[in-house]
Structure 1
Amino acid sequence: MDSSIVADSRIIDHYTPYKQKLDAEMNRVIGISDQYLTHSRASESLMGNFFADALLWKGKQLDPDVQASFSTKGGIRAELKAGDITIGSMFQIMPFENVVSILTLHGADMLRWADYMAKTGGQPAGGIKLVVKDDKVVEFLVQGKPVDPDAKYKLVTYDYLANGGDYVTCFDDVIARQDYKQLIRETLIEYVSDLTKQGKHIQAQLDGRVQITK
């Protein structure tokens, strides 16, 4: 196809109203970020913390017993510029149709999760503090407390990771799993919209939740 082919005006007239509606929705402002949320391969990033915090927020809504959240760096596909936040920017961050999954895990498998994060240079997570030195976990807290290998924990993530995506093998022996119809992208939109309703802006921070040193 090249410029010699003339566009069919009937087709254009047919889809133009739909495109206009879609563009209007994608450009709809739902919140404000006070800073540029960068995304990198570092152990912790502003974008990663924002994403994990949104996931933990929704997880606790769905199940008040949820204690931690988990994503991977590869699952976050865009950064977030300072200023107006639109619906379209949420689609850029999470273009996939992944849904929320809540896993009930043995404490021993939570420790395996910590080892996975240590070996992969840290991953976006919420509700935890992870300290790694020389590729070894030296401190791992969930909701401020050391993990008990014999206790049970609830973690919110998404179906791709719960299924073992991104080489995640620590969820192969879950006690229970609940998948929801809630898309991760919808979660991000709801989280930002809720902040806006409270008169708040997005103010993600690097808070030391994942620390990796050599």
Structure 2
Amino acid sequence: MNLLSYTIKHFVIFITLFLIYSCDKHPDYVSKISGKEIHITDSLKSVDSIENFIKPYRSHINDVLDEALAYSPEALSKSDGELNTAIGNLLADIVMEQTNPVFKSRTGKNIDFVLLNHGGIRSIISKGNITTRTAYQVMPFENKVVVVEITTDKLQEMINYLIKSNRAHPVSGIKIVLNDNNSLQNVLVQGKPIEKDKTYFVATSDYLSNMGDNMTFFSNPVSITETDYLIRNEMIDYFKKTDTIKPIIDDRFIRL
């Protein structure tokens, strides 16, 4: 190989390597992140084009939410009673009435009683028209009804829980009577005394069945049946077929 060829060969190698490395892309790195808090107040201006686009949809939703479904002669609040309230009794009775046909169609069996939680009631029902919006306000969560099969031991744990909590947790289908010293006097399920070797089907929310509100007596159930029925939707369906609601505080859970 002569000197010229040797020189050309090395020049080509040099140029090739130079081009390869000069075209190599180095990754980009974020060196600084900054931001600021923007408070949402009435000082923010709406965008007319967006507002005009949304307006018909908002109007339609409001029309649906505000359509009268039923009527309440008086305001109902979860603070109106000691161990049971009119609004709590209403909700528990709705769950019993709306869920049992679904459960029976799937299992051939009936629900024995219902248990919900006092804290799950998030709003009053005002005097006047009851609307879909009312149902969303009272029960804003996406809780579904499940039916949990429990033993008599678990049922006794549940009764002890209710006595200790001293709150108006909504129930239906069960009657609990306490003495004035808070000891248990009597329990009836569907009007009958508790049977030792029987299991009981309890309709409740999926939140409580997963031991929400420390309801640990729902752990390790005999069985659990999903209904795919939101409590809120049960309320709406019930209101649609009811002209005037008339719930009362009664003797389903009382202290003498």
Q: Partner letter of residue 43 of structure 1? A: L
Q: Deviations over 1:177-210 (max 9, x none)?
A: 01222111001111111223xxxx1000112100
2:222 to 166, 175, 178: 175
- List alignment gaps of at least 5 residues for structure 1: none
Q: Residue 127 of structure 1 contacts residue 143 of structure 1 at CA under 8 Å; is this kept in 2?
A: yes
Structure 1 69/10 Cα, relative in aligned 2: closer, same or farther at 3 Å?
same
For 1:87, the equivalent position in structure 2 comes to 132
Map of 1:41-120 to 2, 5 A cutoff?
42-64=82-104, 65-120=110-165
Q: Give the drift of 1:22.
A: 1.0
Structure 1 4/36 Cα, relative in aligned 2: closer, same or farther at 3 Å?
closer
**TM-score, normalised to structure 1's length?**
0.92
Larger Rg: 2
For 1:39, the equivalent position in structure 2 comes to 78
Q: Residue 99 of structure 2 contacts residue 227 of structure 2 at CA under 8 Å; is this kept in 1?
A: no
Q: Residue 140 of structure 1 contacts residue 147 of structure 1 at CA under 8 Å; is this kept in 2?
A: yes
Q: Partner letter of residue 175 of structure 2? A: K
Q: Give the drift of 1:38.
A: 2.1
Aligned residues: 209
Q: Residue 107 of structure 1 contacts residue 153 of structure 1 at CA under 8 Å; is this kept in 2?
A: yes
Q: Give the drift of 1:58.
A: 1.7
Q: Give the drift of 1:3.
A: 5.6
- SS of equivalent to 2:220: coil
Give the whole-Å Cα distance in 2 for the aligned partners of 1:155 and 1:136.
23
Q: Give the drift of 1:7.
A: 2.1
Q: Which has the higher strand share?
A: 1
Give the whole-Å Cα distance in 2 for the aligned partners of 1:52 and 1:185.
12
Percent identity between the aligned chains?
Answer: 27
The question of 1:205 aligning with 2:248 is answered yes
For 1:151, the equivalent position in structure 2 comes to 198
Give the whole-Å Cα distance in 1 for the aligned partners of 2:55 and 2:99.
38
1:185 to 232, 237, 244: 232
Q: Residue 67 of structure 2 contacts residue 131 of structure 2 at CA under 8 Å; is this kept in 1?
A: yes
